[in-house]
Amino acid sequence: MKHYHIISRIAIYMLSVVLIVFGIFHFLYPRDLFVYVPVFMVGGILYAYIVGSLFVVVGLSFLTNQYVKFTSYLLVVLMLVFILSIHVPNYLNAGNRDTEMAALINILKDTAIMGFVLHIAAGAHHQHLHFEESD
């Protein structure tokens, strides 16, 4: 069982590094990401910084094993917002096959991240953030 725990922690650390890099990218290139902010969302470029901050916070949470359940659910909500407000509209309104495939790949990627993060949240029982007794 110890072997499983080591492999599991390595996978979580890998995701942590990816999330922190995504977060740093949001800070370094916010104008490149601004085009993805849906028109109906007020605030514009501020969202690039907010999302970047969330990615860094979640990555650090996973690295330090603190507040994992809370930050996991936060990331799942963020990924769901991405899928519904950015990727699905891009898929439905794609002007060409390449854009359509890129949007579909992003939907699948974010869904996979959500699944992994929900698995991480399910294993974070020791952190006492239970919404139900059966959680």
Residue 48 confidence class, pLDDT cut points 50, 70, 90:
confident
- The encoded tokens of residue 41 equal 């969302």
Q: How far apart are the first and last CA of the chain?
A: 23
Average pLDDT for the chain: 87
Above 70 in pLDDT, residue 46?
A: yes
Above 70 in pLDDT, residue 60?
A: yes
Over the stretch 90-99, which tens digit does the pLDDT of each residue have?
A: 899 888 999 8
Per DSSP, the residues of 46-76 read HHHHHHHHHHHHHHHHHHHTSSHHHHHHHHH
